[in-house]
Amino acid sequence: MKTGITLVLATALVSSASAADTLITNANGIQVDANGALQHFTGLLVGDDGKVVRLLRAGEPLPKASVTVDEHGRTLTPGFIDAHGHVIELGAHALQLDLVGTRSLSELQQRLRDYAAANPDSKWILGAGWNQELWPDKRFPTAADLDAVMPDRPVVLGRVDGHALVANSAAMRAAGVTPQTPAPAGGEIENGLFVDNAKELINRAVPAATDADLDRQLAKAQDILLGFGVTGVGSMSTALGDWNAMRRAGEAGKLNVRFMVYADELNLLKVAPHPTPWLYDDRLRMVGIKFYADGALGSRGAWMKQPYSDQPGTTGNQLHSNAELRAMADTAAAAGFQIATHAIGDAANAQVISTYEWLDSKYGLNRRWRIEHAQIVDCADLPRTGRAHIIASMQPTHQTSDRLMAEKRVGLDRLRCAYAWKSMLDTGAKLAFGTDFPVESPNPFPGLAAAVSRQDINGQPPGGWLPNERLTFEQALHAYTRGAAYAGFAEDRIGSLDPGKWADFVILDRDISKATVPELYRTQVLETWVGGKRLWTRAPSSSPPERGR
Ligand SMILES: [Zn+2]
């Protein structure tokens, strides 16, 4: 009798385990191995726990599994990890007035008119994505430009880089801002344009998103990310409400993307007193704190050692004194958080490197301190990044988008160690790639293409911009998978399809290891799998899930 029961139980266990095994066959599998070399495989066996049991090699007998999916030779890679994105903003922007790609002020005004007509109940009209650099006269928009279209309802429209906004008179009235209102330190106000720290004067008057708004924005963001094959994200500047929305989604089983969360500096220690463990089957973890050392280059908020070439009166915005940044970093480090600091200008990068060197002397080496963007580094400071084991969290598409603007702002001589992926790797620093979405589209393929070519989607400039900084395909893919996982202390779970890691992978419409640069730019995701489950499938003959930039 006893033996009989054991037998029945054993059979039940075996059949229930195999019932959920999934075998992916006939794939053109590609990933980078732990040594950074390209590794090929033909499929994978996924266990009932959603993790990789093993990779399949050409010619070997197929293991048994209850579900078999034949990929018919399609290309399969690990899911992409975007080391630096703004999750709720991605969803919010997708649901707001979209001004990405406007070619003139009048096009902005037309889109504003249309959106207001389509959303008569929106008390405030919020939008983002304009970039005056794409307009014929390159003039920043003003309050009067918006008043001409929308005199009554408050309108707040963010610049594409998030470092400036333009408000109409109704919004300024609601915010209590008058022509006499002084700009705060680290900010500027001009004709309704609010730069860096001045943005808060307007933003604090905007009615806060409700929990229901945040839930919708998070769901929308996840849809967009899966459509681009992004299965993991370093969620930057995460506010308390955003974190709570992620927790609600986790509780409801609606977290489809894995988020490594970096709390907004203003919420330091409020969101969680210490890093959390991984939650919801490794879909969510509070890992670090995000600080800002300066602003962005487009709005001349990046903090430079020498004055701007096209505006000699300014060196940009230093957001914290050395002592202040050190104290903030010390507090975060003492609580066990990883630190990720935004630094664009060469002065900001030097300040952050010095801060991390000081932390190293106090807390020991290799706590994986991150510099976000690390865009313009003084060549003299570059070797210090490797010595301090810093992770350079960089966005290849910023290089192609910024190139001409950057040359104008600071001149070529100061750009010799700018967007310097290859030089960064050569110092021994670790590289993690992302997009800074929604500043750029979260689509990883333009990033891969830019990383290996230093050319934009139109092939400009011929031969690539500062071409010594081009990466190999393997280095670029590594930074977008294993490197980005490492940057979030997640390399033991994601970033590759090695046995024991989550079966997070994508099916692509082409072999990206053999694609030309233009082909790489046009790569589309056909399916996105997370934890061994197919969560997103491209609709037949549909256009890209979200417009690129
Ligand atoms: Zn960012």
The pLDDT score that the predictor gives to residue 241 is 92
**479: CA distance to ligand 1 center in Å?**
17
CA of 438 to the centre of ligand 1 (A): 8
- E-state strands within 110-170: 125-130, 155-159, 164-167
**End-to-end alpha carbon distance in the chain:** 69
Ligand 1 mean position to 375 CA, how many Å?
12
Which pLDDT value is given to residue 327?
95
Ligand 1 centroid–CA 190 distance in Å is: 24
Ligand 1 centroid to residue 204 C-alpha, Å: 20
Environment class of 190 (CB within 10 Å of its CB; exposed 0-12, middle 13-18, buried 19+): middle
Q: Averaged over 143-167, what is the pLDDT?
A: 95
**435, 442 Cβ separation under 8 angstroms:** yes
> Side chain identity at 283, as an amino acid letter?
R
Q: What is the 3-state secondary structure (H, E, C) of 185-244?
A: CCEEEECCEEEECCHHHHHCCCCCCCHHHHHHHHHHHHHHHHHCCEEEEEEEEECHHHHH
The predicted model gives 437-458 an average pLDDT of: 96
Q: How many helices (H) and strands (E) does the chain have?
A: 17, 24
> Which tens digit of pLDDT belongs to each residue from 489-541?
999 999 999 999 999 999 999 999 999 999 999 999 999 999 999 999 999 86
pLDDT at residue number 15? 38
Average of pLDDT values for 129-157?
96
For residue 95, how far is its CA from the centre of ligand 1 (angstroms)? Answer: 19
Q: How far is the CA of 370 from the centre of ligand 1 (A)?
A: 13
User: How many whole angstroms from 191 Cα to the centroid of ligand 1?
Assistant: 26
Ligand 1 centroid – CA 436 distance (Å): 5
Q: How far is the CA of 182 from the centre of ligand 1 (A)?
A: 27
In this prediction, residue 268 carries a pLDDT of 61
> Which of left, alpha, beta for 284 (phi over 0: left; psi -120 to 50: alpha)?
beta
542: pLDDT confidence band, cut at 50, 70 and 90?
Answer: low
Q: Tell me the pLDDT tens digit for each residue of 91-129.
A: 998 989 999 899 999 999 999 999 999 988 788 999 999
Task: Output the CA 85–ligand 1 centroid distance in Å.
Answer: 6
For residue 546, what pLDDT band results from cuts at 50, 70 and 90? very low
93 Cα: distance to centroid of ligand 1 (angstroms): 14
Widest pairwise Cα distance in the chain: 91
Give me ligand 1 centre to Cα 373, in Å.
8
Q: What is the pLDDT of residue 165?
A: 97
Q: Mapping DSSP to helix (H, G, I), strand (E, B) and coil, where does residue 263 land?
A: strand
User: What DSSP character marks residue 312?
Assistant: T
Window from 29-33, 209-213, 433-437 with minimum mean pLDDT: 209-213
Per-residue pLDDT averaged across 9-14, rounded?
Answer: 40
Rounded to an integer, what distance in angstroms lies between the CA atom of residue 34 and that of residue 53?
17
Cα separation, 384 vs 352, in Å, equals 11
Q: Where residue 543 falls among pLDDT bands split at 50, 70, 90? A: low
Confidence of residue 324 (pLDDT cuts 50, 70, 90): very high
Residues 6+ apart with CB under 8 A from 47: 17, 20, 21, 53, 532
Eight-class DSSP state of 178: -
Scored b (16 or more CB within 10 A) or e, 354-366 reads bbbebbbeeeeee
Mean pLDDT of the chain: 92
pLDDT of residue 18: 46
Pairing of strands 22-25, 43-46: antiparallel
DSSP designation for 74: -
Predicted local confidence at residue 548, as pLDDT: 38
| Per-residue pLDDT reduced to its tens digit, 43-96 | 999 999 999 999 999 999 999 999 999 999 999 999 999 999 999 999 998 989
Q: How far is the CA of 448 from the centre of ligand 1 (A)?
A: 19
Phi, psi of 239 (to 5 degrees): -80, 165
Q: From ligand 1's centre to the CA of 149, what distance in Å?
A: 31
Distance CA 305, CA 323 (A): 18
Ligand 1 centre to CA of 62 (Å) is: 44
């021994």: which residue's tokens? 428
Share of residues in the chain with pLDDT > 90 (%):
87
Q: Give the CB-side neighbour count of residue 19, counting CA atoms within 13 A.
A: 6
**CA 440 to ligand 1 centroid distance, Å:** 10
292 CA → ligand 1 middle, Å: 9
Q: Are 483 and 444 in contact (CB under 8 A)?
A: no
How far, in Å, from the CA of 290 to the mean position of ligand 1?
9
CA–centroid distance, 194 to ligand 1, in Å, is 18
Ligand 1 mean position to 106 CA, how many Å? 28
Q: Is 16 exposed, middle or buried (0-12, 13-18, 19+ CB in 10 A)?
A: exposed
Residue 52 burial class via C-beta count within 10 angstroms: exposed 0-12, middle 13-18, buried 19 and up: buried
CA 13 / ligand 1 centre spacing (Å): 47
- As a whole number of angstroms, the distance between CA 234 and CA 343 comes to 16
* Token pair for 343: 């630094």
Whether the per-residue pLDDT at 7 is higher than 90: the answer is no
| HEC readout, 392-420 | EEECHHHHHHHHHHHHHHHCHHHHCCECC
Give me the residues near ligand 1 (ion), CB cutoff below 5 Å. 236, 436
Q: How far is the CA of 161 from the centre of ligand 1 (A)?
A: 9
CB of 503 closer than 8 Å to CB of 531: yes
* Per-residue model confidence as pLDDT tens digits over 348-390: 999 999 999 999 999 987 899 999 999 999 999 999 999 999 9
pLDDT in tens, 257-274: 999 999 987 666 776 789
SS3 432: strand
Query: pLDDT at residue 135 above 90?
Result: yes
Count how many residues are written for the chain. 549
Q: What DSSP assignment string belongs to 37-62?
A: -EEEESEEEE-TTSBEEEEE-TTSPP
What whole-number distance in Å separates Cα of residue 29 and Cα of residue 6?
40
pLDDT at 13: 41
Distance 7 CA to ligand 1 centre (A): 57
Ligand 1 centroid distance, CA of 125 (Å): 23
Rounded (10°) CA dihedral 455, 508, 30, 533: 130
For residue 51, the CA-to-ligand 1 centroid distance in Å is 31
In the prediction, which pLDDT does 273 show?
86
